[in-house]
Structure 1
Amino acid sequence: MEELSSWMAPIATTLAACMTAANLGTRVTGWGFIVFTIGSLAWTTYGATTDQSNLLWQNLFLTAVNLIGVWRWLGRQARLDDGARAAAERSEHQNAPTLFPVSALTGSPLLSAKGETIGSTVDAMARCSDGGIEYLVVGSGGVGGLGETLHALPWRDVTVEPERVMTSTSIDGLKPLDPNHWPARLGRRPDLEARD
């Protein structure tokens, strides 16, 4: 049992860390917490069989934390995602505006008019006065967020369809956005906003 847990614990922990850090969606993150739970149980077993009480108690605590993560991502968040998806699907078939979950504006691929992925959505800035979206923050380049370039894409240049965010604008033509100084509005050029 000691040898099995000594192999299983680090493998499960490493795999779970990759799954949760990748941010590939609610269900992958939830399954990452299940794998974390397997890892923490393996570490607990290893701590018990090798008389390492600090390892045992630490991983009993981490098991409880991981179970909360499972509930959070595969329970609560998955239900919220399913509810939003169902409302969007129903809106397509009713005499009403087609709906799109705003949460999908974070982390969705941004598609060109030809359907090619040209970036990913990072965030959106909405107006307090009417709730309308002023601009979409888009990341391009880099790997996993490292080395990416941010751009402010005016909302008027964005088309949203069920499960798709698209633009006919080339994000290469947009001025890079300073990650620490997002513009207050896009009515003027973002490089002039810093002077206000």
Structure 2
Amino acid sequence: MVDIAGWIALVATCVAALMTASNLGARVTGWGFVIFTGGALAWIVVGFITGQTQLLYSNLFLAAVDIFGIWRWLGRRARISDASRAEEKLSARQPGDDLFSVAGLDGLPVKSQDGVVVAHAVDALAACIEGRIGYLIVRVGGVGGVGETLHRLPWAEVTVTDGEVRTDLAAAAIARLPEAAAR
């Protein structure tokens, strides 16, 4: 029983860690916490049967944290994401500009005129008083954060349609844009 619980705990913890670290949205993160809870319960079994009180108590605490994560990501954040998506769809049926969730820009590819991905959006900065977006912060190059640069892409150079960001700027022009302050 201890061996089986130990293997379940190991696999569940590894899978859940990948799911939550990937940041693939509220539901994936929430289900990662569900799997984390299963792993914590398996570790609790191992700790109880083997008399490892540190393992038992640490995983009782982690199970409580995981339940909070389930509430936050499958409950609250999922509801917020659903509301944003519904508002986007509602705005598409209204005459005028379609609305989009600014939070949804994170990670979207930025495509040039010819459809080539030249950057990825990581954030948008808006004016406090007027509320208009001033520019996107985009990441260019690198792998996994190593060697990438962050640039300010003016909002006037961007259009957002059908879940993607478009610009008339080529990759070389984006690389020449001012870098975003790193500190």
Decide: shared fold, TM above 0.5: yes
Task: Specify the alignment match of 2:158 in structure 1.
Answer: 158
Q: In 1, are the aligned partners of 2:157 and 2:169 still within 8 Å (CA)?
A: yes
**Which of 173, 179, 182 is the equivalent residue of 1:180?**
182
Tell me how far apart the structure 2 counterparts of residues 77 and 35 of structure 1 sit (CA, whole Å): 18
Amino acid at match of 2:130: D
Report what 1:189 is aligned to. Answer: none
Could you state the TM-score of these two structures normalised by the residue count of structure 1?
0.84
Name the SS of the counterpart of 1:177 in structure 2: coil
Does the aligned pair in 2 maintain the 1:151–1:171 contact within 8 Å? Answer: no
| Superposed CA offset, 1:103-126 (max 9, x none) | 112222223333343322111111
Distance in 2 of aligned mates of 1:23 and 1:83: 19
Q: Does the 8 A contact of 2:26 with 2:74 survive in 1?
A: yes
Question: Which segment is superposed worse, 10-19 or 109-118?
Answer: 109-118
Assess if the C-alpha contact under 8 Å between 1:6 and 1:43 holds in 2. Answer: yes
Distance 1:107 1:113 in 2: 19
Task: Count the aligned residue pairs.
Answer: 181
User: SS at the partner of 1:60?
Assistant: helix
Q: 2:100 matched to which residue of 1?
A: 100
1:138 corresponds to 2:116:
no
Distance 1:27 1:59, change over 3 A: same
Deviations 1:63-119 (A, max 9, x none): 110111111111111111111111111111122431111111222222333334332
Q: Is residue 141–residue 148 contact of structure 1 (8 Å, CA) maintained in 2? A: yes
Q: Distance in 2 between matches of 1:178 and 1:128?
A: 19
Q: 1:115/1:81 Cα in 2 relative to 1: closer, same or farther (>3 Å)?
A: farther
- Residue 25 (1) aligns with residue 19 (2): no
Q: Contact 1:88 / 1:162 at 8 angstroms: preserved in 2?
A: no
CA contact (8 A) 1:99 1:162 kept: no
3-state DSSP of counterpart to 1:24: coil
Q: CA RMSD in A?
A: 1.8
Which sections of structure 1, spanning at least 5 residues, go unmatched? Answer: 182-196
Q: Which amino acid aligns with 1:107?
A: G
Q: How far does residue 129 in structure 1 lie from its aligned partner after superposition?
A: 2.7
Deviation, 1:35, is 1.5
> Structure 1 CA distance, aligned partners of 2:58 and 2:51?
13
> Matched residues in 2 for 1:112 and 1:46: separation?
54
Distance 2:106 2:52 in 1: 42
CA distance, structure 1, for counterparts of residue 103 and residue 180 of structure 2: 23
Q: Which amino acid aligns with 1:136?
A: L
Relative to structure 1, the CA distance from residue 74 to residue 115 in structure 2 (aligned partners, 3 Å threshold; closer, same or farther) is farther
> Which range moves more in the overlay, 103-112 or 46-55?
103-112
Residue number in structure 1 paired with 2:123: 123
Whole-Å Cα distance in 2 between the matches of residues 35 and 179 of structure 1? Answer: 38
Give unpaired runs (5+ residues) of structure 2: none
Identity over aligned pairs, percent: 49
Equivalent in the alignment of 1:14: 14
Supply the distance in 2 between the matched residues of 1:171 and 1:180 (Cα, whole angstroms): 21
Q: Distance in 2 between matches of 1:15 and 1:161?
A: 34
